[in-house]
C-alpha cells in the first residue's frame, strides 16, 4: 500500500490561504467512567517529530514522549474536558462535540481552519472539515489524538487515587472484565456514567418499595 502523506490536508489548505490549521480529536467515548477529553493542536510547517500517528496505534510510553514533543513544538495546544454528569445529561456524542469546541475556543492564536476527526463538525464559526479516521490521515489530527489520550489517561490516574477500588490507573474507565466486576462489587462511584449500559442495573417495571427508584434487584 502507498504511504499516506499525513501533511496532504494541511498542504491543500495552506495553498488556499489558510495558515494556522488546527487538528481536533477526542478520547474517551467508550469508557464507563470518567470524562471525555478533546484536544486541538496547531503545528508549525516545519514540525518534523517522527512517529506521530493515531494514538491507538502507539504504546503508552511512546504517547507520553510524543505528548511532550508536541507541546514543545506546536504553535498552540488546548484541551477541553466534559465530565460524566454532563455526558449523562446530553449524551456522549454531544459531550464529545462540546469538548472539542471547548478545546478549539481555548487555542491562542485562533486557528484559520479546523480538521476534525470523525464524521461530525462542531459548534464553531471557524471553517472546518470532518475527516473519518482523521487521526490516521492528518498530522494535526494525529497530534491532537495523542494529546487527548495522554491528557485523559493522566486524569484517570488521578481519579484512581480517589477511587482505588476500581483500578482506573489500569483500564482508564474502559469496560474491562475487572472494571465490570468492581462495579458489581462496589456499585458506581461519582465519575461513572450512569446512562451507560453496565453501570447501573436496568429499572424494574415498577418502583422498588425499598429505594423508590426501581433499581434494586
Domain of 59: which CATH number?
3.30.420.10
Specify if 105 maps to a domain. yes
Residue showing cell 465519575: 191
Residue 61 maps to a domain: yes
User: Where is 194: in which H helix or E strand?
Assistant: none
Write the CA distances from 96 to 6, 35, 83, 147, integer angstroms: 24, 9, 10, 15
Report residue 203's pLDDT band, with 50, 70 and 90 as the boundaries: low
Q: Is 41 part of any domain?
A: yes
pLDDT at residue 211, rounded to an integer: 54
> Which residues 6+ apart lie within 8 Å of 67 measured at CB?
146, 147, 150
2 in a structural domain: no
State the total domains in the chain. 1
Q: What is the pLDDT of residue 3?
A: 77
pLDDT at 217 over 50: no
- Evaluate if residue 216 carries a pLDDT over 70: no
Asked if 143 contacts 74 with a C-beta cutoff of 8 angstroms, the reply is yes
Q: Is residue 174 in a domain?
A: no
The parent domain of residue 54 ranges over: 8-162
Q: Is residue 185 part of a domain?
A: no
Q: What is the pLDDT of residue 54?
A: 66
Within a domain: 124: yes
Residue 168, in any domain of the structure: no
Amino acid at each position: 500500500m502507498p504511504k499516506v502523506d499525513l501533511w496532504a490536508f494541511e498542504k491543500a489548505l495552506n495553498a488556499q490561504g489558510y495558515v494556522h490549521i488546527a487538528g481536533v480529536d477526542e478520547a474517551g467515548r467508550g469508557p464507563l467512567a470518567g470524562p471525555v477529553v478533546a484536544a486541538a493542536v496547531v503545528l508549525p510547517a516545519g514540525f518534523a517529530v517522527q512517529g506521530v500517528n493515531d494514538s491507538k496505534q502507539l504504546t503508552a510510553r511512546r504517547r507520553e514522549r510524543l505528548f511532550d514533543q508536541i507541546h514543545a513544538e506546536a504553535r498552540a495546544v488546548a484541551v477541553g474536558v466534559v465530565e460524566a454528569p454532563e455526558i449523562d445529561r446530553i449524551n456522549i456524542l454531544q459531550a464529545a462535540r462540546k469538548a472539542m469546541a471547548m478545546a478549539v475556543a481555548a487555542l491562542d492564536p485562533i486557528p484559520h481552519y479546523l480538521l476534525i476527526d470523525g464524521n461530525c463538525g462542531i459548534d464553531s464559526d471557524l471553517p472546518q472539515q470532518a475527516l473519518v479516521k482523521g487521526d490516521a490521515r492528518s498530522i494535526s489530527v494525529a497530534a491532537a489524538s495523542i494529546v487527548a489520550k495522554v491528557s485523559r489517561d493522566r486524569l484517570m490516574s488521578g481519579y484512581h487515587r480517589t477511587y482505588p477500588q476500581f483500578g482506573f490507573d489500569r483500564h482508564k474507565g474502559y469496560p474491562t472484565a475487572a472494571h465490570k466486576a468492581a462495579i458489581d462489587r462496589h456499585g458506581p462511584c461519582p465519575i461513572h456514567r450512569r446512562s451507560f449500559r453496565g453501570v447501573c442495573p436496568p429499572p424494574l417495571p415498577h418502583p422498588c418499595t425499598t429505594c423508590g427508584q426501581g433499581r434494586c434487584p
